[in-house]
Structure 1
Amino acid sequence: MTGTAISRARRSRRLLLVVVAGLLAVALVVDPLARQALAGGRSIDLEVLQLRLAYNTGVAFSMGDHVPSPVLLTVTGLITAAIAVYAWRTAPASSWLTVVGLAALFAGAAANVVDRTLDGRVTDYLHTGWFPTFNLADTFLTCGVALLLVSLFVDARTEAKESAP
């Protein structure tokens, strides 16, 4: 590997770590604040969005809520670890958009795993009225997937332009 390639790999991995650390910290700070502020059935109406406390013992859309918590924790923990390994290994050869998408995906998954570790359930508090209640970590997961999809199109267009005669 050349000096330039090593420098690029370090920058990509540094970007990955910084984005993961920042998003994970935000999610892990907001969750307990939401539990405290919304305890006792309190809710806050923000017009399009309501803050209201709910708990999810399953995974997305409460699927698997009948599965024992240790099993869900193990499976989601393994999936989260796999995302982390994949992100770390592919970051040096990935665009910044892909790295940020993978970082958001990992941060969201990791925040939900940490939350589930506390009491076997994930704290949800963002409610739209037309969609199931979710949390900030879920938005990181969704945004991460969206960024990865966008990066696929952007990277494909860039490669097509570079290989055109």
Structure 2
Amino acid sequence: MSAPAERTAGGRSGSIRSRTVILSGAALLAATDLASKWVAEKTLTVGESMGNGPVDIRLFYNTGVAFSLGADLPPWTVATATGLIIVVLAGFLLASAPTMTGLARVGAALLLGGALGNFVDRLDGRGVVDFLHSGWFPTFNLADVFVTVGAALLVLGAFRGPGEEDPG
């Protein structure tokens, strides 16, 4: 069903359903990310590496944000700033949810889930747990993958017209 048809045919229930899809997906993805970080911390010590493929597993703590920007700032400053950004982002995504395509909703859930996973991980003051290491790119985690893929899907979904709507 296209977004305009959902607004008229589904009305309020369509709006609630689209927001629920994003929030429940984001919660599941954040939990998956946090579980993977827990496993990495229980399995490795800082600097230890496992694997010899294109991506190996190496524990690292990032006290900054993307690419360690702001790593010299107090942890509470980074946590507060990212928390405020997530609140604004969540408000925008949830307000926009009823008019999004299914692809955009998947992107929104990925983006929000990744952001929440990294935010919760940051709250202990040690920084975000990163453990996926390629050697040619900064070490990252599942939340970073979710954010990147989610942003791309959100943009792609925004460019899809109502006639190209996918179920979801």
Q: Normalising by structure 2, what TM-score?
A: 0.86
2:90 aligned to which of 84, 92, 95: 84
SS at match of 2:123: helix
User: Alpha-carbon deviations, 1:65-98, whole Å to 9, x = none?
Assistant: 1111111110000001111111111111111111
- Counterpart contact for 2:131–2:139, Cα < 8 Å: yes
Q: Normalising by structure 1, what TM-score?
A: 0.88
Q: What is the CA distance between 1:158 and its match in structure 2?
A: 4.5
| Structure-2 separation of matches of 1:111 and 1:151 | 23
Is residue 127 of structure 1 aligned with residue 121 of structure 2?
Answer: no
Q: What is the CA distance between 1:7 and its match in structure 2?
A: 2.8
User: Alpha-carbon deviations, 1:22-70, whole Å to 9, x = none?
Assistant: 1011011111111111125432115111000011111111111111111
> Residue 31 of structure 1 corresponds to which residue in structure 2?
37
The one-letter amino acid of 2:96's match is T
> Residue 4 of structure 2 corresponds to which residue in structure 1?
none
Q: What is the CA distance between 1:114 and its match in structure 2?
A: 0.6
Quote the RMSD (CA, aligned, Å).
2.0
| Structure-1 separation of matches of 2:101 and 2:77 | 35
Q: How does 1:94-133 map to 2 (within 5 A)?
A: 94-133=100-139
| Structure-2 separation of matches of 1:76 and 1:40 | 25
Q: How does 1:1-165 map to 2 (within 5 A)?
A: 2=8, 4-39=10-45, 41-45=47-51, 47-155=53-161, 158=164
Identity %: 42
Q: Which has the higher helix share?
A: 1
SS at match of 1:64: coil
Unaligned runs of 5+ in 1: 160-165
The one-letter amino acid of 2:11's match is A
- Counterpart contact for 1:70–1:120, Cα < 8 Å: no
- Higher RCO, 1 or 2 (CA under 8 Å, sep at least 6)? 2
Q: Cα gap change, 1:40/1:110 in structure 2, threshold over 3 Å: closer, same or farther?
A: closer
**Equivalent residues, number:** 159
Unaligned runs of 5+ in 2: 1-6
